[in-house]
Chain A
Amino acid sequence: MPSPTFWSLVESSLTPSYTLAIIAIVLVLGGPIILHLILSNSTSYIIHPQVVLVGPDGVGKTSLMTLFERGDSPSQTHTSQKSHSVELNASTDSSSKYSYKNHEDTTGTHTKFLLIDTPGHGKLRNVAMERLIRCERLKAIVFMVDAAALGEPESLAPTASYLYDILLFLQKRASDKSNNKKNNTPVPVLIAANKVDLFTALPSTLVKTNLEAELSRIRSSRSKGLLDSGVGIDDVGSEEQDAWLGEYGSEKFSFKQMQEFEIDVDVLPGNITGDGPGAEKWWWWIAQRI
C-alpha cells in the first residue's frame, strides 16, 4: 500500500526529531563545502603557464599568435585594442617538438600553455603592463620587434623605451624580496626579431647591439631627467625612485647585465610570412621555457 507509507514518510519528515535535525544541519553546512570542493577541483581552476607577447604596434604580435594557433598560416590582422589569449600545446620530447604545427601530433607529452597577446599601441601600453602584472604563472615574455624598421631611429627609440619599461618591471619584480615566493620565479625574455625576410631587415646581432645602445642612452637620460609628479620630498633618492636598469653605474648597458637578476635575454630572428627562418626557433624557445 503505497499511499499510507508515503503519508507516514511526509509526516515523519515534518515531525521534529534529532535525526532529522542532524540530517538538516549536515545538508545545510556540508552542501556548500562539497560544492566548493567540486568546483575548485574542476579544470577551469587550473592555471596554465602563461607566455606574454609584448612589443610596439605593427610588429606582428597578433599575427604570431594566430600562426601558432592555426599552424598553417597566420590570419590577417589589424591594430589590437584588447589583450587576448590562446591555448596552445608545447612539448619538448615529441617528434614535432621544433614545430608549432603539432596539432595532430600524438607522440610525447604536451604541456598546455596560454599565449597572451597584448595591444602595442602607445596609449594602450598600460593595458599590456597590467596584463603582465596580473599573470599568475608567468613563464616567459616574448618581446617582438620589427627588425626591418629598427634601423630607423624613429622606430628604434619607442621600441627601446618600451623594452626598457618591461625589463625594469622584471628587474623590480626579481629584486623585490618581500613578494611571495610564487611571483618570484625569474622570467626569461625573448626578443623576437620579426620580419627578417624583408630586404631592410637587420640581422639579429645588429638588432641586439642597436637595442643595447639605445637602452644605455635611455638609461642615462632617465637618470638625468626630471622627477615624476607625485613624488614627494621624502621619496627623493629612495630605492623605488632610483631605477637603474642593469649593473648600477655601468657605462654601457648589455643584456648580460640582466643576469644579475636571473633574467635571461635572448635575441632570435624569424618571420611570420614570406621566406625565411620562419617562427620555429621562437616556438622551440617557448617550448623549452614552459
Chain B
Amino acid sequence: MLDSFEIITTTGVVVWSRTYAPIKPSIVNNFIADTFIEEKSGSTAIQDSQSASVNPPYKNDQHTLKWTIVKELGVIFVAVYRSLLHLSWVDKLVDNIRTIFVSLYGDQLKKPHTTLVEFGTNKFDEYFDQQLHELDKASGIDASGVPEIQLNSNLNDEPLSAPSLTYRGRNISQGGLDATSNGSSPPDTPSASRPSTPSNNNLLVAKASPAARLSRRARKKNNANAPLLSSGDEGPGGRSKKAPKKGRKWDQDGLADEEDDVQLDYSAQTNPLSDSEAEATGRSSALEHVDSSTWGSTTKGKFVLKDLGDEVHDILASAEASQAASSKNGSKGGLIGSGINAVSGLFRNVVGGKTLTKEDLDKAMKGMEEHLLKKNVAREAAVRLCEGVEKELLGVKTGSFESINARIQTAMEASLTKMLTPTSSMDLLREIDAVTAPPVTSLRTRRPYVISIVGVNGVGKSTNLSKICFFLLQNKYKVLIAAGDTFRSGAVEQLAVHVRNLKELAAREGGGEVDIYQKGYGKDAAAVAKDAVAHAAHTGYDVVLIDTAGRRHNDQRLMSSLEKFAKFAQPDKILMVGEALVGTDSVAQARNFNAAFGSVRTLDGFIISKCDTVGDMVGTLVSLVHATNVPVLFVGVGQHYSDLRNFSVKWAVEKLLSST
C-alpha cells in the first residue's frame, strides 16, 4: 500500500499530504533535488502535466516515488510506496488526484503572496479516499478476477427500472459508465469493495498493512469490530474456491451480491425496511445500521460516500471533456479565424504578451540549437538544453515588448547557469587545510591531500598539473609530484623539468617546496601512486599531485586500470583534463572516465585546458557537465604557470550566448 501521498508546490510548501506509514522527509527532498534541481535523470526533460506513468519513477533504496508536475501552477504530486510492492494503480491515482486538485484548487495556487490553500469544507480528503479505494479495489478485482464476474452478472440481471431507488440507480449508472470506459472496473459501491480490498492486501503482503486498515477506517470510520473484520479476513479463503461463494450469493434472487456474509453477521440488526423488491437497499441499509450503531451518525454516512464517487467522476469527466474540447478548438478555426490569428500573432510578436506555442518556438529553438552547435556544444547537450527550454516556455506569455527570441535567450541563460553552477562551491585551499591541518576537536589525523589528474592523450595533463602545483606553491604548501605516467617515454623527464622550474620559482618567491617522486618506466602506476602517498605522509608533505598516463577513453584495457588506481591511491580529488578544442567526442570522454573508477568513485571536477585557443567557442565545458553532472573547477587560459583560472559561470554563459 501507499506510504505517503504529498502535494508540494515548487516553492517547497506541502499543500496537502496523507501519510500512512512515516517516511523520512529526506526521501522527498532528495527526490526534488535529484529530479528537478540537479536533473540527474539526464536526457529526459521534465514535461508539464505528463502522466505519472511516463515520468521515470524515482527509486530510493527502499521506496519508489511516482510523480507528476503541473508546471504552470508549480505543483508536484508525489506518491511514495515501498519498492517491494508492485502497485500498478499508483500512476492512475497520481494522475486522477492531479486532475481533481488542479480543477478544484488551481486558482488558489495562482494567487500571489500567499502559501495558503483553502480546502473549503475539507472535501479533498474524502475525494482522495474515494480515489484510493476505487483504484485499489479495481486492481484487486483485476487480480482475483472473481468479483468481476459477479459484477457483470449483477449488472446484467438487474432490472433497469430500479432507479426508483436512488441508491441503486446511481449504482447502475456509475457501473455502466465505468463499464463503458474501461470495461473491467466495478460499480462503485463501497460495500462491494470491502471484501476485495483486504483480499488484495493479503495477496500482496502477508499481513494487512496499516494503510489497509486506515483505508477501511476511512471508508467506514470505525466499524472495525470483530465480526466485520473476520468477514473481511475470511474473504480470500472464500474467494479462492469460486463455486461455493457464488452459490451462496445467487440464492438471493440475483440482486444481493457478495455483501451477504456481512449481512449474516449483522442479521440481528437487519433493517425492517428491507422488503422483497428493495432487497439491495435492504442490504445496504442493514450496513448503515451497523454504521450508526458504532458511529452514532445518521444513515447519511452511506450516501455521502456514494455522492462522493459521483462527484469525483464528474470532476474527472469534465476535466477530460474540457481537455478534449480545447484540443478540438486548437485544430479548428475557419479562414477568418486563422486570418485574425495570424494578424494578431504578428502584432503580438512585436508588442509581446503572446502565448508561446510549439510552432512559434520550433523555429526559434532551431536557431538557438544552431547557435549552440556553433559554440562547439555537442549535439546531444544542445538538444537537451533546447528541449528543456522549450518545455519551460510552452504556454508562457511573453512580456510586454519582448520578442520570442529575447525570451528564449533569457530562458537559455537561466538554463545554462543552472547546469553549470556546482551543487556545492569548491574552495580547494580550504579543503586542503581541512585535511592537512584538521581541527583539534575532530578525531582525524593529519594526512596529505591527494589530487590525481586523468585525461585523454595530449590534452595537457602534465601542464595543468604543474599549473596547479605553482598555485599551491604560491600558497606555501609542500607539494610532492608523483610521476604516474610510467608508459610514455619522456613523461617522467618532462615532469622533472617542470619540477626543476617550479623549484626555482618557489625559491625566488619564497614559497613552498616541491619534489618529484618517480620510479622510472614500466612499473604499475597504481603501485607508484600508492608508494608516493605513503612517502608523502611519512615525510610531511601537504599535497600529493599524481600524474597519470593519457589513455583513450574507449580502450577498455587501459581504462580498467583506473579503478585499481583509485583504490590504491585513494585520491581526495580526481580531476579530468578536457581540452576545449574537442567537439562531440567530449561527451563520450567524460562519460567513460566518470564511469572508470568503479561504482563508488566518480570524477570530482574538470579542468578545461586550451581555452585561449577557442575564443567564444567554449561549448565543450557544457558538453562535459551535461554528460556527467560534474562541475568544472579550473580553466586553463594560456601557456604560463600562472594561466590557470577559477571557473566562473557568468563568464561561460556570457561567452556561450554572445553572438559574433
Binds A, one of B109-117, B345-353, B531-539: B109-117
Q: Are B14 and A69 in contact (CB under 8 A)?
A: no
Our pick among B28, B114, B116, B428 for the contact of A78 (Cβ within 8 Å) is B28
**Candidates A66, A81, A229; contact of B32 at CB < 8 Å:** A81
A62 contacts B by Cβ under 8 Å? yes
A229 touches B648 (CB 8 A): yes
B467 closest partner in A (C-beta): A226
Interchain nearest-CB distance for A147 vs B (Å): 17
Which of B289-297, B401-409, B418-426, B489-497 contacts the other chain?
B418-426
Distance in angstroms between the alpha carbons of A207 and B113 in the assembled complex: 32
Known: A78-B25, A157-B430, A229-B647. A69 touches B421 (CB 8 A): no
Question: A66 and B13 in contact (CB under 8 A), knowing A226-B471, A226-B634, A228-B651?
Answer: yes
- Taking CB atoms, residues of chain B closer than 8 Å to A229 are 611, 635, 637, 645-648, 651-652
8 Å CB contact of B38 from A70, A84, A86, A123: A123
Question: Which one of B11, B113, B422, B611 contacts A122 once the chains associate, using CB atoms below 8 Å?
Answer: B422
Question: Quick check: A226 and B644 within 8 Å, CB to CB?
Answer: yes
CA distance A232 to B615 in the complex (A): 13
> Which among A80, A114, A218 has the greatest number of chain B C-beta atoms within 10 A?
A80
**A62 and B429: CB pair below 8 A?**
no
B645 contacts A227, C-beta separation under 8 Å: yes
* CB nearest neighbor in A for B633: A226
A200 contacts the other chain (Cβ, under 8 Å)? no
With beta carbons under 8 angstroms apart, the residue of A82, A161, A221 that contacts B433 is: A221
State which residues 213-230 of B face A: CB under 8 Å: none
A76 to B74, CA, bound (A): 17
Q: Is the interface of A mostly helix, strand, loop or mixed?
A: mixed
Q: How far is the CA of A77 from the CA of B471 in the complex (A)?
A: 43
The answer to whether A62 touches B11, judged by C-beta atoms less than 8 angstroms apart, is yes
Contact call B645/A231, Cβ cutoff below 8 A: yes
B160 sits at the interface (CB 8 A): no
**A65 adjacent to B115 (CB under 8 Å):** yes
CB distance from A50 to the nearest CB of B (A): 11
Q: Are B11 and A225 touching (Cβ within 8 A)?
A: no
Q: B646–A122 contact, CB under 8 A?
A: no
Does B649 touch A at the CB level, under 8 Å? Answer: yes
Chain A residue contacts of B423, Cβ below 8 A? 121-123
Q: Which residues of A contact B634 (CB under 8 A)?
A: 226
Query: Which one of A83, A124, A222, A226 has the greatest number of beta carbons of chain B within 10 Å?
Result: A226
Q: Give B356 Cβ to nearest chain A Cβ, in Å.
A: 20
Q: Which of these, A85, A158, A218, A227, contacts B113 with CB under 8 Å?
A: A85
Is B11 a contact of A230 with CB atoms below 8 Å?
no
Closest A-chain residue to B618, C-beta based?
A: A229
**Separation of A52 and B392 alpha carbons in the complex (Å):** 26
In the bound complex, how far is the Cα of B417 from the Cα of A123, in angstroms?
Answer: 9
The chain A residue with its CB closest to the CB of B427 is: A221
In contact, B439 and A123 (Cβ under 8 angstroms): no
Cβ A78 vs Cβ B646 within 8 A: no
Cβ-defined partner of B650 (8 Å) among A77, A79, A84, A230: A230
Q: Is B88 interfacial (CB 8 A cutoff)?
A: no
B645→A114 contact, CB < 8 A: no
Q: How far is the CA of A164 from the CA of B193 in the complex (A)?
A: 60
A281 on interface, CB distance cutoff 8 Å: no
Q: Which residues of B sit under 8 angstroms from A124, Cβ to Cβ?
A: 37, 418, 421
B315 within 8 A of A: no
Chain A residue at minimal CB-CB distance from B19: A76
Nearest-Cβ distance from residue B476 to partner chain A, whole angstroms: 9
Question: Are the CB atoms of A217 and B646 closer together than 8 Å?
Answer: no
Assembled-state Cα–Cα distance A153/B425 (Å): 14
User: A83 near B11 (CB under 8 angstroms)?
Assistant: yes
- Given A226-B646, A229-B651, A230-B648, 14 more pairs with CB closer than 8 A: A62-B11, A75-B13, A78-B14, A78-B25, A78-B29, A82-B11, A84-B12, A87-B113, A121-B423, A122-B422, A126-B649, A153-B434, A225-B427, A225-B428
